[in-house]
Amino acid sequence: MQHTYGLDRIGVINPEVVYRNMSPAWLTEQALLNQEGVLSDTGALVVRTGKYTGRAPDDKFIVDTPSIHDYIAWNNINRPISKEKFNALKSKIPAYFQNRPIYLFDGFAGADELCRKKFRVVNELASECLFIRNLLIRPTAEELAQYGEPDFTILVAPGFQCNPQIDGTHSQAAILVDYESRTVLIAGTRYAGEIKKSVFSVMNYFLPNEGVLPMHCSANMDPVTKETAIFFGLSGTGKTTLSADPNRKLIGDDEHGWSPRGIFNFEGGCYAKCINLNPEKEPYIYNAIKAGTLVENVVLDEDTRHPNYFDSKITENTRAGYPIDYIPNAAQPGKGGIPTVIIFLTADSFGVLPPISRLSKEAAMYHFVTGFTSKVAGTEQGITEPIPTFSTLFGEPFMPLAPDIYAGMLGERIEKYNTKVYLVNTGWTGGPYGIGSRMDLKYTRAMITAALNGYLDDVPYRHDRRFNVDIPQTCPGVPNQILNPRATWDNKKSYDIMAKKVAAMFYENFKTKYPDMPEEIIEAGPRVE
């Protein structure tokens, strides 16, 4: 009789066979046999995810029950679904697994053993099992033998299509999180990122109650002093590039917890963007795409199987998931000390924010909640102007609790540990997109290095009244003029007009989304008068 590892207790009965915690080589072979993907010339498994090449935010729901209702920040991202609808799907998906092979992965989230959660991921596809094996923390043989019952179970059935009229979903796809039964259902999408983001949604719900601040950020540390820094930033701000510093150890690139003992990575792997991947600029990521790595939606040459990272005909959101030990300077295990420096990254394509500025505790809480960047406008109809983007806590889709809970925890830690906070603009200088130029990466690296090494502690600062930040007037390796954005614009009046416009965007966003924030945090933001 085959071993089913207790899957019958969640309704998965009569699977054809259950494969548990198989090796990357075995899972790759199985995925090839199942025709789930092909090999690149580097040995990586390359799959296409079909209709969904990124997260499906409109298809994510949280099960609304009396025990959790008052804790969730309900909005157009944290959407409710009834327990009845969830239970109906929870019976359908296990039934769908009948007479099919199951690829099971039992692993951990949280490098800090005191904060660790056990996740059981039940997969229909061998390729998705390979993905989550790479992304979660892999148990040792001894840990696996003593694994016991998971804290949370994720059922992943991309071949199961929901019926919106019956199931209460928005489309054929659905991502449903039930904190009460500690179950996640993922159906109708082959985009593997939904699995790891569901893990984040779980950790970000439970950890604050345990005195741990969950954060959507990267983290690195000095290999000698062990001093730790964390980097917040939305897509396109340079978070992955800037935290992957060859002179520092990478703790993790996506999600961390801040406990009384320090920083710890939630994951055991990386999920890197591949579009325009350049071996000279990002050698660590480029060289990590090899045997054992899962690659999504990258175009391969039909004859040579060589990946073309510059081809976006499938999607701009091409991805590679690999274990963190594929990165040569990764910290093992993924733990660091109390952060001495926090970096908020923004790519301001309006060209008005300073390239680096120091934030007070209240201003740090303001920018943490705001999560600002701006994206370059599309060129299909001709370039118009940059588009502002605000994502609460730099990770809105997976932060289920009220923002003030997370912001309050950050503020407490900044005050307690005297952590320094900087806002770094990796976007435009000398004018907006189309007029100015992108901030030179070497200057950004020099500014961050100066912040991390304490070189900005004792330099003169100028207070910027409009954006309510303090701008250093000197920085090693950076021309003084670069530090003051108004000085880089030929037309100073145009700068003033644009700065006022961007400050108003901040003001309106904050007033609309966070009307009940404490006054001292509101006052720490940009000013419109």
Average pLDDT value for residue range 182-194: 97
Average pLDDT value for residue range 427-456: 95
What integer pLDDT is reported at residue 379 of this predicted model?
A: 33
Grouping H, G, I as helix, E, B as strand and the rest as coil, residue 144 is helix
Q: Does the pLDDT of residue 384 top 60, yes or no?
A: no
CA–CA dist 330, 126 (Å, integer): 27
Q: What is the DSSP string of 287-319?
A: HH-STT-EEES-EE-TTT--EETT--SS-S--E
pLDDT digits (tens, 9 = 90+) for 300-356: 999 999 999 999 999 989 999 999 999 999 998 999 999 999 999 999 999 999 999
CA–CA dist 188, 254 (Å, integer): 25
What integer pLDDT is reported at residue 4 of this predicted model?
A: 84
What integer pLDDT is reported at residue 380 of this predicted model?
A: 35
**How far is C-alpha 20 from the geometric centre of its chain's CA atoms?**
27
Considering only 85-99, 117-131, 375-389, 469-483, which range has the smallest mean pLDDT?
Answer: 375-389
CB 136 within 8 A of CB 268: yes
Which DSSP category does 35 fall into?
T
CA distances to 227, 229, 288 from 232, rounded to whole Å, are: 17, 10, 23
Q: Packing angle between helix 126-135 and helix 193-206, nearest 10 degrees?
A: 40
Q: Does the pLDDT of residue 43 top 80, yes or no?
A: yes
- Which residues, including other chains, have CB under 8 Å from residue 439's CB and lie 6 or more apart? 355, 425, 426, 427, 428, 429
**Domains within the chain, CATH numbers bracketed:** 7-42+58-212 (3.40.449.10), 217-253+338-522 (3.90.228.20), 270-324 (2.170.8.10)
Look up 358 and say whether it is catalytic: no
Average pLDDT value for residue range 481-500: 96
Grouping H, G, I as helix, E, B as strand and the rest as coil, residue 270 is strand
What integer pLDDT is reported at residue 377 of this predicted model?
A: 56
CB 430 within 8 A of CB 488: yes
**How far is C-alpha 129 from the geometric centre of its chain's CA atoms?**
20
CA dihedral 303, 309, 312, 314 (to 10 degrees): 50
Q: Phi-psi category of 461—alpha, beta or left, where left has phi over 0 and alpha has psi -120 to 50?
A: beta
Average pLDDT value for residue range 172-186: 97
CB 257 within 8 A of CB 301: no
Catalytic residue among 138, 197, 248, 249: 197
CA–CA dist 408, 469 (Å, integer): 20
Average pLDDT value for residue range 38-65: 94
What integer pLDDT is reported at residue 246 of this predicted model?
A: 85
pLDDT category, 281, cuts 50, 70, 90? confident
Catalytic residue among 181, 235, 474, 494: 235
Q: Does the pLDDT of residue 22 top 80, yes or no?
A: yes
Catalytic residue among 64, 254, 464, 470: 254
pLDDT digits (tens, 9 = 90+) for 217-236: 999 999 999 899 999 998 88
Average pLDDT value for residue range 54-69: 93
Name the residue among 333, 335, 346 with its Cα closest to residue 212: 335
* Strand 339-346 with 420-425, pairing: parallel
pLDDT category, 376, cuts 50, 70, 90? confident
Look up 254 and say whether it is catalytic: yes
Look up 319 and say whether it is catalytic: yes
* Average pLDDT of the chain to the nearest whole number: 94
Average pLDDT value for residue range 259-284: 93
Look up 51 and say whether it is catalytic: no
CA dihedral 318, 442, 395, 171 (to 10 degrees): -20
Catalytic residue among 216, 256, 361, 420: 216
Catalytic residue among 55, 116, 305, 501: 55
Show the tokens assigned to 498: 């644009």
Which DSSP category does 330 fall into?
B
What integer pLDDT is reported at residue 238 of this predicted model?
A: 85
CB 187 within 8 A of CB 157: yes
Look up 240 and say whether it is catalytic: yes
Look up 426 and say whether it is catalytic: no
The residue with greater pLDDT, 504 or 316, is: 504
Show the tokens assigned to 99: 């007479």
pLDDT digits (tens, 9 = 90+) for 108-149: 999 999 999 999 999 999 999 999 999 999 999 999 999 999
CB 349 within 8 A of CB 376: yes
Show the tokens assigned to 373: 């960047």
What integer pLDDT is reported at residue 2 of this predicted model?
A: 66
What integer pLDDT is reported at residue 342 of this predicted model?
A: 98
For 5, other C-beta atoms within 10 Å of its C-beta total: 18
Grouping H, G, I as helix, E, B as strand and the rest as coil, residue 501 is helix
CA–CA dist 505, 353 (Å, integer): 13
Look up 303 and say whether it is catalytic: no
| 134-143 exposure pattern, b = at least 16 Cβ within 10 A, e = fewer | bbbbbbeeee
Q: Does the pLDDT of residue 73 top 50, yes or no?
A: yes
**Element at 45 (helix H, strand E):** strand 45-47
Share of the chain above pLDDT 90, in %: 86
Q: Packing angle between helix 361-370 and helix 492-513, nearest 10 degrees?
A: 80
Look up 335 and say whether it is catalytic: no
Catalytic residue among 92, 118, 138, 239: 239
Grouping H, G, I as helix, E, B as strand and the rest as coil, residue 495 is helix
Catalytic residue among 189, 228, 237, 240: 240
